[in-house]
């Protein structure tokens, strides 16, 4: 994708399932990358031989920095910002990709775990935007690509902190877009459905009555990231990668009887 050629892009959660695809596809498009995750890892190892083989010969020179940062804390977000500034480069695009999940009933997931999900998936995005976006507004350019989820528009039982955080990210992204779009800073939000990445093996609490989703429903992370990057390059605000994400997007509009949303509808009718 020519759009990314020469752009400096910060990717959070860079060594995860989607992260490694962002790295490979962006390097293949000529981007310069600043990678961040909890701890630095060997990139060749993260990519594996399949992805590494497809990269341009000079790919290592295109990694500007690798910055370990725990985004669950304000200090971690600040550290990431300070170290990005030390590279002397202006960040053209931030991909807010880091995220965690826990599975279980709301009563079974400990309060600290609920707060951890919110701190990484939502508060960190607010903190990083507060640090990075003023510079983008001043320059009159920049782009934010948020990785939300179908759980960001369908209230999802047995993953309540996660669904709250992903609704929050969608809300933050849309409202901030309303404030900054005239300054030239672009926004895209991607809503993946189920994809084969390590987050699917997230810790479970109690004995939630959730069954494992059949593999048939799962998307390939390579496909999800390709759609996300293509959508952002076209400045699409809401990106639903694949059939199931798109189906759910329309389902909540035309058939609002999904999960807990059924009772919301009944209340509206009764009032
Ligand atoms: N896979 C799906 O089905 C799916 C669907 C919808 C949305 N998403 C979203 O996609 C994004 C990427 O997830 P993924 O599927 O690629 O899962 P993943 O492989 O678990 O990637 C998540 C990344 O976030 C990092 N991370 C965790 N805690 C962090 C912290 N405190 N500070 C900084 N980074 C931290 C993880 O690092 P460690 O591995 O070192 O913990 C990992 O690299 C997430 O926002 C997720 O919610 C995924």
Question: Ligand 1 centre from 106 Cα, in Å?
Answer: 21
**What Cα–Cα distance (Å) separates residue 195 from each residue in 10, 157, 217?**
22, 18, 8
Q: Is the CB of 71 under 6 A from ligand 1?
A: yes
Averaged pLDDT for residues 195-220: 84
pLDDT of residue 265: 55
Q: Which residues pair with 189 in a beta bridge?
A: 146, 238
Answer yes or no: is the C-beta of 152 below 6 A from any ligand 1 atom: no
How many domains are there within the chain? 1
| pLDDT score, position 235 | 97
pLDDT of residue 54: 86
Rounded percentage of the chain residues whose pLDDT exceeds 70: 92
Model pLDDT, residue 141? 97
Q: Is 242 in the pocket of ligand 1 (CB under 6 A)?
A: no
Q: Ligand 1 test: best mutation among 79, 99, 201, 248, most atoms within 8 Å of CB? A: 99
Nearest to 37 by CA among 27, 26, 22: 22
Out of 15, 16, 210, give the residue to mutate to test ligand 1, the one with the largest number of ligand atoms within 8 Å of its CB: 16
What are the tens digits of pLDDT across the range 11-31? 999 999 999 999 999 999 999
Q: Closest by alpha carbon to 81, among 105, 65, 99?
A: 65
Q: Is 199 in the pocket of ligand 1 (CB under 6 A)?
A: yes
Which residues constitute the domain of residue 6? 2-270
CATH of the domain at 133: 3.40.50.720
Residue 211 has pLDDT above 70, yes or no: no
Q: Per-residue pLDDT for 50 more than 60?
A: yes
Question: What's the mean pLDDT in 111-120?
Answer: 98
Distance, in Å, from the CA atom of 93 to the CA atom of 11, rounded to the nearest integer, reads: 9
- 245 touches 191 (CB < 8 A): yes
CB 15 within 8 A of CB 35: yes
Question: Which residue in the block uniquely carries the two structure tokens 């990519």?
Answer: 47
Q: What's the chain's average pLDDT?
A: 92
- Positive or negative: CA dihedral 227, 46, 2, 63: positive
Task: Specify the residue with its C-alpha closest to ligand 1, atom 41.
Answer: 38
| Number of residues assigned to the chain | 271
Between 201 and 114, the higher pLDDT residue: 114
State pLDDT tens for residues 65-112: 999 999 999 999 999 999 999 999 999 999 999 999 999 999 999 999
Instruction: Give the tens place of pLDDT for each residue, 144-194.
Output: 999 999 999 998 889 999 999 999 999 999 999 999 999 999 999 999 999
Residue with tokens 């059939």: 243
Q: Is the pLDDT of residue 251 over 60?
A: yes
């Amino acid at each position: 994708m020519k759009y990314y050629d020469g752009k400096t892009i910060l990717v959070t959660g860079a060594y995860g399932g989607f992260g490694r695809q962002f790295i490979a596809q962006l390097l293949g498009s000529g981007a310069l990358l600043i990678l961040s995750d909890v701890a630095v890892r060997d990139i060749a190892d993260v990519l594996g031989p399949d992805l590494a083989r497809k990269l341009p010969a000079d790919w290592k020179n295109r990694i500007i920095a690798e910055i370990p940062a725990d985004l669950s804390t304000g200090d971690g977000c600040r550290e990431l910002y300070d170290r990005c500034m030390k590279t002397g480069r202006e960040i053209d695009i931030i991909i807010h990709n880091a995220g965690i999940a826990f599975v279980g009933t709301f009563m079974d997931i400990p309060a600290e775990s609920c707060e951890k999900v919110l701190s990484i998936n939502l508060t960190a995005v607010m903190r990083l935007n507060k640090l990075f976006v003023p510079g983008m507004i001043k320059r009159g350019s920049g782009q934010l690509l948020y990785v939300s989820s179908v759980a960001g528009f369908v209230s999802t039982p047995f993953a309540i902190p996660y669904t709250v955080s992903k609704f929050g990210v969608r809300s933050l992204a849309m409202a901030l877009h309303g404030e900054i779009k005239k300054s030239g800073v672009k926004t895209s939000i991607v809503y993946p459905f189920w994809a084969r990445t390590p987050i699917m093996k997230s810790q479970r609490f109690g004995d939630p009555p959730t069954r494992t989703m059949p593999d048939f429903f799962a998307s390939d992370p390579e496909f999800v990231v390709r759609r996300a990057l293509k959508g952002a390059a076209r400045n699409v605000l809401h990106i639903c990668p694949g059939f199931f994400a798109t189906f759910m997007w329309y389902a909540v509009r035309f058939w609002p009887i999904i999960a807990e949303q059924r009772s919301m509808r009944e209340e509206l009718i009764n009032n």
